[in-house]
Amino acid sequence: MPLLHDWNLTEAEAVAVQRRLAPLVDTASPLGPVGTLAGCDIAYDTTSNAAWAAVVVLTFPDLVEVERAVVREEVTFPYIPGLLSFRECPPLLSAFARLRKLPDVVILDAQGIAHPRKFGSACHLGLWLGVPAVGCAKTWLCGEHPVVGPTAGDLAPLTMDGESVGAVVRSATNVRPVYVSPGHRVDLSGAVRLVTATLSGYRHPTPTRAAHIAANAARTAAGN
């Protein structure tokens, strides 16, 4: 893996890193063949700086689990909106290091280019790993969009300053939508197709739901 920067950064230094690395993100290339994909998520201890980072690898398109890695690490970067990747990427990278093989694509419960500096966690992790990455966030961070339909699979464009940066996708009927944006080495249409192909009947698509369950199970097992 390339060493893109040091992780011991101030807020201003982290913003400068985002601005330096954002031009390196590739959101023009179509997504290549996918045989495996990974979902990523993190669960936090509510009383300390401990975090449990989970990566669950599934086959595609049948979505059968083939591998998982869960690590516990202390997070050192504070929670600052727009800089979440500096808090969450280090433990996720530790989890990826435990896998036998990198997946063909990664889906994160995070933003891709739907981000004020077009460098969300999916961009950061994808660039660091050198693999295609897609952001599928539960919360809106920036941009504008029309009302999305109520049925699973309905979507609406997400734009920022007139530029298309993602899509708002109804991941399950009559639940709040998710915010999909390309992270790295995938275009917008490929990111949306991948997420809609993994809808699970829940708000989380299958990969990130599996990672969410794994991270929370590890936290619970630790008594947190």
pLDDT tens digits along 44-80 = 998 889 999 999 999 999 999 999 999 999 999 999 9
Distance CA 60, CA 160 (A): 31
Tell me, yes or no, whether 16 lies in a domain: no
Residues 215/70, Cβ–Cβ less than 8 Å: yes
Identify the CATH number of the domain in which residue 76 sits: 3.30.2170.10
Tell me, yes or no, whether 13 lies in a domain: no
pTM to 2 decimal places: 0.94
Query: What confidence tens digit (pLDDT) does each residue in 75-104 have?
Result: 999 999 999 999 999 999 999 999 999 999
Query: What confidence tens digit (pLDDT) does each residue in 114-143 have?
Result: 999 999 999 999 999 999 999 999 999 999
Tell me, yes or no, whether 21 lies in a domain: no
What residues make up the domain containing 205? 33-142+180-221
Query: What confidence tens digit (pLDDT) does each residue in 2-60 have?
Result: 688 999 999 999 999 999 999 999 999 999 999 999 999 999 998 889 999 999 999 99
Determine what percent of the chain falls in helix, strand and coil, rounding each to the nearest 5: 30, 25, 45
Does residue 1 register a pLDDT over 70? no
CB proximity list for 161: less than 8 A, separation 6 or greater = none
Distance CA 223, CA 206 (A): 26
Residues 129/96, Cβ–Cβ less than 8 Å: yes
Query: What confidence tens digit (pLDDT) does each residue in 140-192 have?
Result: 999 999 999 999 999 999 999 999 999 999 999 989 999 999 999 999 999 99
Give ∠ CA 121-216-111 in degrees, rounded to 5: 15
What total number of domains does the chain contain? Answer: 1
Tell me, yes or no, whether 64 lies in a domain: yes
Tell me, yes or no, whether 208 lies in a domain: yes
For residue 210, give the H/E element and its range.
Answer: helix 206-221
